[in-house]
Amino acid sequence: MRRGSRGGRTEIHRRYRAQFGKIDILVKQCWARAPRRLLEATEEDYDAVLNVNLKGVFFITQAFVKNRIQAKAGGKIINISSVHEELPFPHFTSYCASKGGVKMLTRNLSLELAPLGQPSACRVVQIFVDGSFDAPGAML
């Protein structure tokens, strides 16, 4: 499965539904980064970060909401982001842009999903993480 690919997200969703029967809560902490100075960054670096950190969040959320509407049941969506959606982080411009996108996506989802009403409404919450980049496997 390619990180950030639509096929990968669909497969993850299918596996969890097969194992647990239903998914009531969607918690996402997507974390890809490609530390580069602006003038050294490639389109591949940018795409790798945005595909995981923003595009992946968007489409797995879409699949979750479709499932909850089909099931006529509510759900909860929790997006875990980074303080770098607000705070600059030199040489991580694509990472910061992706986290800023997650912030706006979360805010917009709250408004867009609110009119669905109970029981099909999904509550959307965002959590900010001020963590270290020293986690194993954290870098692309």
Q: What is the rounded distance in angstroms from the CA atom of residue 106 to the CA atom of residue 85? A: 12
Q: Which of 59, 64, 92, 95 is catalytic?
A: 95
Q: What is the rounded distance in angstroms from the CA atom of residue 14 to the CA atom of residue 120? A: 21
- How far is residue 38 from each of residues 34, 46, 89, 96, 134, measured CA to CA in Å? 11, 10, 12, 12, 22
Give me the residue label for tokens 């006529």.
72
Q: Outline where the chain has alpha helix (H).
A: 6-20, 43-50, 56-70, 93-113
Catalytic-residue membership of 46: no
Could you state, in order of their start, the residue ranges of all structural domains in the chain? 6-129
- What's the predicted TM-score (pTM) here? 0.75
Looking at the DSSP assignment, which residues form a beta bridge with residue 122? 75
* CATH number corresponding to 6-129: 3.40.50.720
Q: Nearest 5°: CA angle at 80, between 17 and 3?
A: 60
3-state helix, strand, coil in the chain (%, to 5): 50, 15, 35
Residue-wise pLDDT tens digits, 27-78 = 887 778 788 899 999 999 999 999 999 999 999 899 888 888 888 888 888 8
Residue-wise pLDDT tens digits, 2-24 = 455 566 666 776 787 788 878 88
Residue 18 CB neighbours (<10 A): 8
